[in-house]
Amino acid sequence: MESLLGAVIDRSLEAVLKKLERGEKLRTEDLVVLVLSTVREQNRRMDAFNDQVNRRIDETNKRIDSLSEQMNRRFEELSRRIDETNKRIDALSDQVSRRFEELNKRIDETNKRIDGVYNVLGDIQKTLVDMNKILMDLQNVMLSIQASLLSQLSQSRRQ
């Protein structure tokens, strides 16, 4: 359906551009074709950008999953070590305390990394919002240019 609609818009745009080249007056339908073509191009660009952002998010999620798996393995290893340590608690209590301190440092570091990832995701979201505003401004400028061209075309035909 999209490809059929795209082909129709492309053919219609070609016809409108030929009218412009010949200096013919554009009808409302022609203007709609110009707007649809512009919106379609903007949508393509936004889709490409969204794909790029989605790939980045997927990569980030993979990194988070990898960190999670590492943490799970470390917790499993720690649990096993604690069971062994419980059997020899008197002789090894100092060693167990040091390992808990290391683990807490690693958890803190991992939490900091996760916080960093969330910050990056927030920045990406802000960038998307800013880009959307820019695209809207660009569309308004293009509509203004189009109106100006139509006005100039209309004036030149009157003369």
* pLDDT tens for each residue of 73-83: 999 999 988 88
Burial class (CB in 10 A: 0-12, 13-18, 19+), 79: exposed
Buried b (16+ CB within 10 A) or exposed e, 38-54: bebebeeeeeeeeeebe
pLDDT tens, residue by residue, 5-14:
777 787 887 8
Phi, psi of 24 (to 5 degrees): -80, 155
* Mean pLDDT of the chain, nearest integer: 88
Q: Is the pLDDT of residue 92 over 80?
A: no
Q: Is the pLDDT of residue 42 over 90?
A: yes
Q: Is the pLDDT of residue 111 over 90?
A: yes
Residue entry with tokens 């900091």: 112
At residue 26, the 3 state secondary structure works out as coil
Domains: count for the chain: 1
Q: What is the pLDDT of residue 1?
A: 59
What average pLDDT score do residues 123-144 get? Answer: 94
**87, 106, 108 from 102: Cα distances, Å:** 21, 6, 10
Percent of the chain with pLDDT over 90: 53
Q: What is the pLDDT of residue 144?
A: 93
**Alpha carbon distance, N-terminus to C-terminus of the chain:** 44
Confidence of residue 58 (pLDDT cuts 50, 70, 90): very high
Q: What is the pLDDT of residue 7?
A: 78
Q: What is the pLDDT of residue 125?
A: 94
User: What angle is formed at CA 155 by the lines to CA 151 and CA 159, rounded to 5 degrees?
Assistant: 170
Neighbours of 21 (CB within 10 A): 8
d(CA 68, CA 53): 22
**10, 70, 122, 141 from 101: Cα distances, Å:** 65, 18, 31, 60
Enclosing domain of residue 51: 2-158
Q: What is the pLDDT of residue 69?
A: 95
Q: How far is CA 157 from the centre of its chain?
A: 46
The model's pTM is 0.38
